[in-house]
């Protein structure tokens, strides 16, 4: 025979599930049923008052909300890759201690016991900055920029540029990057791709590192962009004219990390990049080298000034 049960009744005896029915039971059983009824009632109230929480449900985002129920529209914030430059010099006979670099300050020449020099200005671009994992795969940024050229063409590039100068104090946010894994190198280009030296400057938005209208050091009419500028003096006498060297050929630089770094999803990546300005003048004889020889020696030394001191996840 098929048993039937009516809504609101207990299985045993088909008695209503009510205060009276509970009271006629064994005291212990009645107490348990009463507690259960109270808990069930409280739980139903909670369900009735609960409102689903919106939040970012993309685990790659920095604001991933593990307690969210529903995905919010366009609220996710993704990790950024930032270069934080450390402008320093390593002066000989200072127990291998780096000190902060300053303009208009005389430093001993690295290859001489008597010569001194001062840097009046250094401004340069870094482009195509990449993290390199232990498998040799390179990770840059997801941002792009459409750049126009004088001939009317337009090319989309990875928006991966930074402008460095001792007097530019803010860190350089390169762009958005989503990655994970173990990384043991960074690589970048000192300078700009040669194709960009003659771009249509009107295609560059204000605030971009390549925007030149507020920076007369990086662009010269009739020449175009100046990817690397270094101006210095080699004598304490105010009568000595400064020497300025410019480099237009890009230089690729690969820097190993002190130890492999595990990068997890959802974290901003900040690379502390040291520039040792004295390293550019290694082997230079200020007393006898002509300007062109000095320029060639500096060009050969360009990669030697850079090192990664730290990478932090934030």
| Helical segments of the chain, H only | 19-23, 27-49, 291-301
Percent of the residues in the chain that have a pLDDT greater than 90, as a whole number: 68
pLDDT digits (tens, 9 = 90+) for 93-121: 766 789 999 999 999 999 888 889 999 99
pLDDT digits (tens, 9 = 90+) for 276-308: 999 999 999 998 999 999 999 999 999 999 999
**How far apart are alpha carbons 119 and 242 in whole angstroms?**
9
C-beta separation of 190 from 128 below 8 A: no
Question: Does residue 157 sit in helix, strand or coil?
Answer: strand
Where residue 44 falls among pLDDT bands split at 50, 70, 90? low
Extract the tokens encoding 276. 């040792």
Extract the tokens encoding 180. 């994970």
Mean pLDDT, rounded, of the chain: 87
Residue range 213-219: mean pLDDT, rounded: 88
Where residue 63 falls among pLDDT bands split at 50, 70, 90? very high
pLDDT digits (tens, 9 = 90+) for 144-197: 999 999 889 999 999 999 999 999 988 999 999 999 999 999 999 999 999 998
Extract the tokens encoding 59. 């685990």
Neighbours of 255 (CB within 10 A): 16
**How far apart are alpha carbons 275 and 302 in whole angstroms?**
10
pLDDT value, residue 37: 64
**How far apart are alpha carbons 173 and 241 in whole angstroms?**
36
Residue range 202-219: mean pLDDT, rounded: 92
Residue range 59-71: mean pLDDT, rounded: 89
Extract the tokens encoding 31. 């107490």
**Integer CA distances (angstroms), 119 to 101, 102, 127, 163, in order:** 9, 8, 23, 18
pLDDT value, residue 26: 54
What value, to the nearest 5°, has the Cα angle with vertex 12 and ends 10 and 16? 35
pLDDT value, residue 47: 54
Where residue 253 falls among pLDDT bands split at 50, 70, 90? very high
CB burial class (10 A; 0-12, 13-18, 19+) of residue 239?
Answer: exposed
E strand segments, 191-283: 219-220, 224-225, 228-233, 243-247, 251-263, 269-276
**How far apart are alpha carbons 148 and 233 in whole angstroms?**
38
Sign of torsion over alpha carbons 265, 268, 270, 271:
positive
Sign of torsion over alpha carbons 194, 158, 300, 233:
positive
Percent of the residues in the chain that have a pLDDT greater than 70, as a whole number: 82
Above 50 in pLDDT, residue 139? yes
Q: Which residues contact 310 (CB under 8 A, 6 or more apart)?
A: 271, 272
Residue range 36-57: mean pLDDT, rounded: 69
C-beta separation of 136 from 144 below 8 A: no
- Ordered by start, the domain boundaries in the chain are 12-49, 80-313
pLDDT value, residue 256: 98
pLDDT digits (tens, 9 = 90+) for 23-41: 455 555 555 666 666 666 6
Note if the pTM is more than 0.75.
yes
Q: Per residue in 76-91, is it b (16+ CB within 10 Å) or e — as a string?
A: bebbbbbbbbbbbbbb
C-beta separation of 191 from 249 below 8 A: yes
């Amino acid at each position: 025979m098929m048993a039937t049960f009516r809504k609101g009744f207990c299985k045993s005896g088909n008695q209503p599930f009510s205060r009276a029915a509970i009271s006629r039971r064994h005291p212990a059983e009645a107490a348990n049923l009463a507690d259960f009824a109270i808990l069930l009632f409280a739980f139903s109230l909670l369900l009735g008052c609960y409102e689903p929480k919106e939040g970012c449900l993309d685990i790659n985002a920095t604001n991933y909300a593990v307690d969210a129920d529903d995905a919010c529209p366009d609220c996710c914030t993704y990790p950024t890759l930032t270069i934080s430059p450390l402008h320093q010099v390593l002066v000989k006979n200072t127990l291998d201690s780096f000190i902060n670099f300053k303009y208009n300050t005389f430093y001993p020449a690295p290859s001489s016991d008597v010569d001194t020099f001062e840097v009046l200005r250094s401004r340069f671009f870094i482009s195509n900055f990449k993290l390199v994992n232990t498998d040799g795969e390179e990770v840059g940024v997801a941002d792009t920029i459409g750049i126009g050229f004088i001939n009317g063409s337009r090319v989309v590039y990875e928006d991966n540029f930074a402008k460095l100068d001792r007097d530019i104090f803010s860190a350089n946010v390169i762009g958005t990057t989503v990655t994970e894994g173990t990384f043991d190198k960074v690589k970048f280009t000192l300078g700009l791709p040669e194709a960009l030296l003659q771009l249509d400057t009107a295609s560059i938005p204000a605030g971009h590192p390549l925007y030149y209208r507020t920076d007369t050091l990086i662009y010269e009419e009739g020449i175009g962009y100046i990817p690397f500028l270094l101006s210095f003096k080699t004598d304490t006498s105010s009568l000595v004219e400064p020497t300025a060297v410019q480099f237009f050929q890009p230089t690729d630089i690969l820097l190993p990390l002190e130890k492999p770094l595990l990068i997890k999803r959802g974290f901003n990546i900040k690379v502390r990049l040291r520039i040792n300005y004295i390293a550019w003048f290694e082997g230079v004889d200020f007393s006898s080298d002509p300007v062109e020889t000095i320029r060639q020696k500096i060009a050969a030394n360009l990669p030697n000034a850079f090192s990664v001191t730290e990478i932090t996840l934030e």
